[in-house]
Structure 1
């Protein structure tokens, strides 16, 4: 783990997406954070020690998902499938598919496991929120808050768009694993990896932490709100600094587009290898994204903190 000193920073952005605004002053106490996302090798040790079964390894309960076809009540998870040509980027179903048998040990489907794929030192994916929290509990750690993650991701570089400055690829340098080209069909792979990359492949940030941007989205402990909870409390009061915020409430986190589903959403941070300039410019410390806590995908992982 890496020690992150306490401090105050400008959290959020008013340049990219509305859910990141407003910019507000936030302070966090010092904490320790995993130097890299939790890897498949580390998660395998946890599973071997505890016998834990992830959410993707258990068939979903149809009672929790009104209208779900009965044949979908099988273990599995969401896997990204690159399209052959341009598609409507407003419909994620064009590239996400619920593949039966996909789980943390079989991130791309049941045919090959992490051993066959050579992924032991890649971030573990296909992890739902409960799966990340179970690992953290076992390790004697916790999941970061949204503010802690963003503070650590900035690496001491306050106010910059990216974790390394104000240019995405300064002098053409690939400083994180994200999608180069037109998503979801044409990836130039200038960074060398079409999917996840081994942890530590790209330079550490100013705090000595790796992969806080790109590679995989990472779970935080904060409930989602369209306007950050920490911002709603102090909007318009730039004089004020929020201390160690713990954002959101379960009741505010439900997806209004799915009124029959009462499953909360947590904040994801960091972006992933699927973020692209033409689709999802969330390869930035300020970026945030909602994810239902029961959902696992081939681009969501996590890391832990200790306070």
Structure 2
């Protein structure tokens, strides 16, 4: 009888997690309007067209800022999914060719260099707004934009003038956050940066293989325990979401890209800090004619994730946004095929 009761409680808890998964807001910051509704802009300026960078590629490829992952067969996914609707299961063996992946998420400083070299205009700048979490706004701003909240997740505000260089609106800057991950970048923006660097976005499988750090059937890049040695290994939410973040890990927003080393591959912030775009489509049968609204897989969770509502800071976890979307907890890192070096 005791065993049956325990099983019943576990089933209820799992169902609860699946119910609230739709309320966490992970995918609710997708654009609801098409790019045609955005302000007019010159899409071919300095060789930039439709979000893809055709400007000269840089030649400063630095091996020690990337990690080489050997080609081979690896396990991805899980047979114990938390969110069934996210298609985390089943666990399966996949093959990847050898590749490099950035040790760190792309920083504001690096993205600034890209903008200075190409005059690229990001999607949030084209639209004139992006999504900001409530805690990053002053009470005055919250009142001003109270009618621009996302109905299903009212802690997300669409704020005018928000972009990668003004992460909380026009009066904010990245001056004291140059070593933090760039945010408010769409999938197109991330792809353009990677191409300019002579790289590309990682596939979902490449990202997950890198996240696992050579370990199989583990929740996190370092193992199954969230805080080995009672230390914080990632930047996520502590406290009661969405109003009380105690910041026990040292941060209540993004952290520097080199703050949390997480696995034996010498990779930082694979989980937590900011979601990371991948090159993989959420639905492979997506409409090829509408690139902006095709959903792309993002991995890793963010500083807003908490086990009670958005337990997606696991290597197998996944979510998505439309390719033109941007938010204050969404960034990326680059990858590079080994044969790209030839």
Structure 1 counterpart of 2:317: 287
Structure 2 counterpart of 1:123: 181
Give CA-to-partner distance per residue, 1:32-80, whole Å, 9 cap, x none: 1111000000000000000001001113xxxxxxxxxxxxxxx010001
User: 1:13 touches 1:286 (CA, 8 Å); kept in 2?
Assistant: yes
- Pairing 1:212–2:302 present: no
- How many Å separate the matches in 1 of 2:89 and 2:153? 28
Counterpart secondary structure, 1:94: strand
Structure 2 counterpart of 1:25: 93
Of 244, 250, 254 in structure 1, the residue corresponding to residue 286 of structure 2 is 250
Structure 2 stretches lacking a partner, 5+ long: 1-65, 140-149, 338-342
Question: What is the deviation of 1:203?
Answer: 2.0
Question: What is the deviation of 1:25?
Answer: 0.8
Question: What is the deviation of 1:92?
Answer: 4.5
Bigger relative CO (Cα 8 Å, ≥ 6 apart) = 1
Structure ID, larger Rg: 2
- Pairing 1:51–2:87 present: no
User: 1:178 touches 1:275 (CA, 8 Å); kept in 2?
Assistant: yes
Structure 1 counterpart of 2:159: 99
Counterpart secondary structure, 1:200: coil
User: 1:157 touches 1:206 (CA, 8 Å); kept in 2?
Assistant: no
Counterpart secondary structure, 1:150: helix
Structure 1 stretches lacking a partner, 5+ long: 60-74, 85-89, 226-247, 255-260
Structure 2 counterpart of 1:78: 131
Structure 2 counterpart of 1:40: 108
- Pairing 1:302–2:338 present: no
- How many Å separate the matches in 1 of 2:152 and 2:115? 31
- Pairing 1:143–2:201 present: yes
TM-score by length of 2: 0.72
Structure 2 counterpart of 1:9: 74
Give CA-to-partner distance per residue, 1:209-258, whole Å, 9 cap, x none: 11111100000011103xxxxxxxxxxxxxxxxxxxxxx24239x9xxxx
Question: What is the deviation of 1:112?
Answer: 1.5
- Residue pairs, 1:257-268, within 5 angstroms: 263-268=293-298
- How many equivalent residue pairs? 256
Question: What is the deviation of 1:291?
Answer: 0.5
Counterpart secondary structure, 1:219: strand
- How many Å separate the matches in 1 of 2:236 and 2:153? 20
- Residue pairs, 1:110-259, within 5 angstroms: 110-115=170-175, 118-225=176-283, 248-251=284-287
- How many Å separate the matches in 2 of 1:22 and 1:41? 39
User: 1:78 touches 1:98 (CA, 8 Å); kept in 2?
Assistant: yes
Measured at CA, do residues 92 and 272 of structure 1 come closer, stay the same or move farther in structure 2, by a change above 3 Å?
farther
Question: What is the deviation of 1:175?
Answer: 0.3
User: 2:237 touches 2:304 (CA, 8 Å); kept in 1?
Assistant: yes
User: 2:221 touches 2:262 (CA, 8 Å); kept in 1?
Assistant: no
Considering only aligned residues, what root-mean-square deviation do their CA atoms show, in Å?
2.0
User: 2:294 touches 2:323 (CA, 8 Å); kept in 1?
Assistant: yes
Structure 1 counterpart of 2:24: none
TM-score by length of 1: 0.79
User: 2:167 touches 2:183 (CA, 8 Å); kept in 1?
Assistant: yes
- How many Å separate the matches in 1 of 2:241 and 2:72? 37
User: 2:222 touches 2:262 (CA, 8 Å); kept in 1?
Assistant: no
